[in-house]
Amino acid sequence: MGYGIALEVWGAYGLFTRPEMKVERVSYDVLTPSAARGIIEAIYWKPAISWHIDRIHVYNPIEFTNIRRNEVSSKISASIVDSVMKGSAKPLYINTNADRQQRASMVLKNVRYIIQAHFELTDKAGETDTVEKHYNIALRKMRNGQCYHNPYFGCREFPANFRLVEGDFPKSGLTGERDLGYMLYDIDFTNLEDIKPTFFRAIMRDGVIDLSDCEVFR
């Protein structure tokens, strides 16, 4: 993988919600591959490339804390947006005072990871889209701390700091093997009529979750 990157990310909190929790939000033990991809895509994404996560290095001990957050209980439906675009006078907003509700969340605290990833060209790449071109742009943005929008750890309330790691990086202080169970891998948008989540068995060895050859379940 000559065009891979290593990106260090860290922050005060992270919330990578388990889908089986229906009422209160409970985070997975570590950053999920889909959240890691979202962080990188917040920095640099184009239709011509597709990012793939190879490894997640976990540096800080896994710690949880409970917080309460205000959330809205509804969202604007696509049908209402479509009606307004066609001239309807329906309200196109959410009344946060009426829809606000308080929910408890079990979140991670003091998180720090190094994400190893690479990208591949997609079928939307044009004649001017080369691997070298996109690689150099991604490196420049990561070196300069630039991004399309601020990356975050699962929720926008939990921003992620980032820096490009060049050369060797330290080994994790976590040792031994830890089975983290089945975790969300990504969302499969191949069939837009039948969007499905995919999962994998997360095994952390000496602080590293290797995704380069993991089995994905649908």
**What's 192's domain CATH number?**
3.30.70.2660
Q: Per the domain annotation, does 63 fall within a domain?
A: yes
Q: How many other CB atoms are found less than 10 A from the CB of residue 121?
A: 15
What is the per-residue DSSP string for 62-95? Answer: --EEEEEEEEES----HHHHHHHHTT-----S--
Tens of pLDDT, residues 113-128: 999 999 999 999 888 9
Please count the structural domains in the chain.
Answer: 1
Q: Identify residue 183 by its one-letter amino acid code.
A: M
209: β partners:
56, 204
Q: Per the domain annotation, does 8 fall within a domain?
A: yes
What's the pLDDT score for residue 23? Answer: 74
Q: Give the chain's residues under pLDDT 50.
A: 1
The boundaries of the domain holding residue 129 are 4-67+107-217
| CA separation for the pair 15, 25 (Å, rounded) | 8
What's the pLDDT score for residue 181? Answer: 94
Look up the pTM and report it.
0.86
Q: Per the domain annotation, does 83 fall within a domain?
A: no
Q: Per the domain annotation, does 81 fall within a domain?
A: no
111: β partners:
11
| CA separation for the pair 34, 127 (Å, rounded) | 29
SS3 184: strand
